[in-house]
Structures are given as C-alpha cells and as structure tokens.
C-alpha cells in the first residue's frame, strides 16, 4: 500500500511550466495513490490546467503566488526578489512548516539550492549540502554526489558526502551496507589530491557499520557500477554528469543515423527493433530524473528543467521513496555515530 505523503510543487518552474508539472504529478498519483499535493504558482494559470486532471485536482490544493523564479535568475537575485512571494520559496517553506513532506521543483537549480539552504538550514554536523543523482550502470543504478552544489570539497566534506550517499542508497534500495568509492585519477592510494587521500584514509580506518569503503574509483567505474556510491566534489561531479548525458545523446544520434542510411540498414533495424527498444529503455534519462539536496533539514528534489511528464513523475516518486524510507533519520543517525567515533579517537590521541 502506498504511503500517504504530501508533496509541495513549484508548479511554475522548469522549461515547460505547469503543463509538465501537472501531467507528471498525475502520473505519480496513479502509481502512488496515497499522494497529496500542494501546488504553488499563478492561480489563474494553474486552476484551468488542473481541471484537465480530475484525479489530481481532487488530491491537490492550489496556493497562489505572485512571483515565478526565471530559469536565468541569479541565485542572489532570486533570493532577494523571490523570498516570501515566489512559488519556489513557498514550496520549500511548506516542508519546513510541516505542510508537506517533500518539495519538488524543475526550476532554476542555483536559486533552488540557495533558497533551500536559507530556508531549511543544514543539518547538525553538515557544513555544506550536496546534490546527489542516480546514475544508470551496467548493474542497475548507483548514487553519485556531489553533482553541482559545491566547487571543491575538503576531506571532511567528502566524508559527509559518503555518509549521506550511503544513507540515500539504503533509503531507496534494499542494501544494508552500500559500497562507497572516492572518484580519483587512479585507484592507487598514492594518487590524487591530498583531501581525497585523507578522506580515503579516514573512511578505511573508521570501519563504519552502514557502509563498506571500497577505495578509489576512476571515471570508467561510474558506468560499470563498481560501487553503490561514488563521492566527488561538485565541480568534477557536474562535469562527469554533463559528459555522460552528452555521450548518451551522441550515441543515440549515431545509431539513428546508421539505421536510416540504407535500405538494408532499415530492414536490419526492423528485425532488431526489440533489441533497440530495450537499449532505448535502459538509456532513458527520464527514469533517473531527479537530484536530491542532501544535508538539509528537509527533502528537496530537483527535477531536470527540460524533462517531460514521465521524467517529472520519476522525480516525485523519488521524493516519495526518500521520505517514506526515512532518509533524514538515516543521515542523522550515521552522522551521530561517525561523530562519536571521531570524538573517541580524538580523546584517545590526547591521552
């Protein structure tokens, strides 16, 4: 039976506005009938559009907001102009006030992170929140973080990312001790920047109960699914993410061009259509749409701005699963346990 959870939606956010948001929410509601929605945006636009989705309309409440944050607004500008009145701010605020369990937005990433951090604040023990994304692999899916929230990270922050990423895997999948790897330029312990080597040493020596530290991983391990969680800073993670997305589109275009070049190629495609449909399904970015801001006192999901209804539904469902499986509590417990270990080590070192 589906958990009864309330989702607050920045209904005007994204490249396509409320049309995709509402259609996606309607799909998510069909799959998880217990969901309830609070829609923040322009009432004059939302209500007529919502009337085209009767089931969603009966499970939703509309809250009028005068301001919609533009996709090209700078985070500082969005904070100044959008606080208190924008749909994005009000949707985040709803999770802080207990009106909703999770917030989902396809809007401006920088503005969403700035507002979420300002409104929800970081969890005790977390210096910087991270953006975590699901990554399709040969073995299924893994979690990669950070993919864009931070430029650079020290050893302490990388360890926080490792703890939060492992908690996310445990919340989404039936994995008791997820494997964690630090993204590096080589698997040898002598390679890489000092902060990565330091984080690796601490993770190896800590022997944490809720994750298994694998060691360093390289770029090609991302697609292989070598580990359940890949940890890196936001600069490297975002480049890796955009490179993977671009490569997937490139391969898709190559295949499409190759299959239409000659009559024999088109005939071959006809006979191999089942295999190509399977490949298309495996490479469908909509299935892993949705990055979560980890380390905040609330769950905020960032959907890709250009996604369609199916992709937005996946982001809503990710938010549902994260909350239903207690992601915040898992992170808090792991941080507390790790803090206890470090305190004991510091005390022993002073004796």
**Residue 93 belongs to what domain range?**
1-126+295-351
Considering the domain architecture, whether residues 121 and 133 belong to the same structural domain is answered as no
Report the alpha-carbon distance of residue 185 to residue 160 in Å, rounded: 21
Q: Are 240 and 320 found together in one domain?
A: no
- pLDDT of 1 reads 38
Q: How far is CA 204 from CA 29, 159, 198, 201, 340, in A?
A: 43, 11, 10, 5, 16
| The domain boundary residue, chosen from 273, 289, 305 | 289
109: alpha, beta or left? (left if phi > 0; alpha if psi -120 to 50): alpha
The CA-based dihedral angle spanning residues 261, 275, 316, 245, taken in that order and rounded to the nearest 10 degrees: -50
Closest alpha carbon to 296 in 135, 102, 107: 102
* pLDDT(51) > 90: yes
Could you tell me the CATH number of the domain that includes residue 154? 3.40.718.10
> To the nearest whole number, what is the mean pLDDT of the chain?
86
Same domain for 283 and 302, yes or no, is no
Decide if pLDDT at 121 tops 70: yes
Band of pLDDT at residue 2, cut at 50, 70 and 90: very low
Question: Is the pLDDT at 23 greater than 90, yes or no?
Answer: yes
Are residues 205 and 188 part of one domain? yes
DSSP letter at 60 equals E
Mean pLDDT score, 253-269: 75
Q: Taking the mean position of all CA atoms in its chain, how far away is CA 60? A: 24
What mean pLDDT do residues 219-242 have?
91
> Do residues 78 and 116 both lie within one domain?
yes
The domain tally of the chain equals: 2
User: Final residue of a domain: which of 266, 289, 312?
Assistant: 289
- 273-282 and 263-271 are packed helices; what angle lies between their axes, rounded to 10 degrees? 70
For residue 94, pLDDT over 80 is answered with yes
- Whether residues 212 and 308 fall in one domain: no
Residues 309 and 217 in one domain: no
Same domain membership, residue 309 and residue 282: no
- pTM score, two decimals? 0.85
Same domain, 111 and 20: yes
Domain boundary among 289, 308, 335: 289
Residues 6+ apart with CB under 8 A from 241: 133, 144, 147, 148
Q: Provide CB contacts within 8 A for 188, sequence distance 6+.
A: 216
Bridge partner list, 212: 179
- Out of 172-181, 210-219, 285-294, least confident range: 285-294
Tell me how far apart the alpha carbons of residues 76 and 342 are, in angstroms, rounded to a whole number. 36
Question: Residues 275-288: pLDDT tens digits?
Answer: 655 555 655 555 66
Quick one: pLDDT at residue 288?
Answer: 63
Query: Residue 257 has what pLDDT?
Result: 80
Same domain for 141 and 55, yes or no, is: no
Checking if the pLDDT of 125 tops 50, the result is: yes
Written as one string, the DSSP assignment of 213-233 is: EEEEE-THHHHHT-SSEEE--
- DSSP E strands: which ranges in the chain? 6-10, 36-41, 60-64, 102-105, 130-137, 140-145, 179-183, 212-217, 229-231, 291-294, 299-302
Residues 305 and 315 reside in one and the same domain: yes
Give yes or no: residues 166 and 92 share one domain: no
- pLDDT top residue among 263 and 59: 59
- The reported pLDDT for the residue numbered 77 is 78
- State the average pLDDT over residues 161-178: 91
């Amino acid at each position: 039976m589906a958990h009864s959870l309330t989702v607050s939606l920045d209904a005007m956010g994204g490249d396509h506005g409320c049309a995709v948001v509402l259609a996606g929410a309607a799909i998510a509601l069909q799959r998880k009938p217990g969901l309830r929605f609070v829609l923040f945006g322009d009432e004059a636009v939302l209500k007529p559009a919502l009337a085209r989705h009767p089931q969603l309309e009966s499970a939703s409440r509309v809250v009028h907001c005068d301001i919609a944050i533009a996709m090209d607004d700078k985070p500082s500008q969005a904070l100044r102009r959008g606080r208190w009145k924008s749909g994005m701010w009000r949707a985040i605020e709803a999770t802080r006030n207990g009106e909703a369990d999770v917030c989902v937005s396809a809007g401006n990433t920088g503005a969403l992170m700035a507002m979420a951090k300002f409104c929800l604040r970081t969890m005790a023990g977390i210096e910087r929140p991270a953006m975590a994304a699901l990554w399709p692999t040969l073995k299924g899916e893994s979690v990669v973080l950070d993919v864009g929230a931070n430029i650079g990270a020290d050893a302490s922050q990388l360890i926080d990312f490792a703890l939060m990423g492992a908690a996310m895997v445990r919340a989404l999948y039936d994995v008791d001790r997820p494997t964690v790897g630090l993204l590096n330029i080589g698997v040898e312990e002598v390679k890489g920047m000092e902060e990565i080597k330091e984080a690796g040493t601490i993770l190896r020596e800590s022997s944490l109960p809720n994750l298994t530290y694998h060691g360093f991983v390289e770029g090609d391990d991302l697609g292989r699914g070598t580990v359940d969680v890949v940890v890196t800073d936001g600069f490297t993670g975002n480049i890796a993410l955009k490179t993977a997305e671009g490569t997937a589109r490139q391969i898709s275009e190559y295949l499409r061009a190759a299959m239409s070049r000659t009559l024999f190629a088109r005939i071959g495609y006809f006979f191999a259509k089942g295999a190509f449909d399977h490949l298309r399904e495996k490479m469908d970015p909509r299935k892993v749409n949705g990055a979560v801001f980890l380390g905040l006192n609330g769950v905020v999901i960032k959907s890709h701005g250009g996604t369609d209804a199916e992709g937005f539904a996946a982001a809503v469902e990710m938010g549902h699963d994260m909350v239903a499986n207690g992601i915040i509590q898992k992170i808090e417990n792991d941080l507390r346990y790790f803090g206890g270990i470090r305190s004991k080590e510091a005390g022993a070192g002073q004796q």
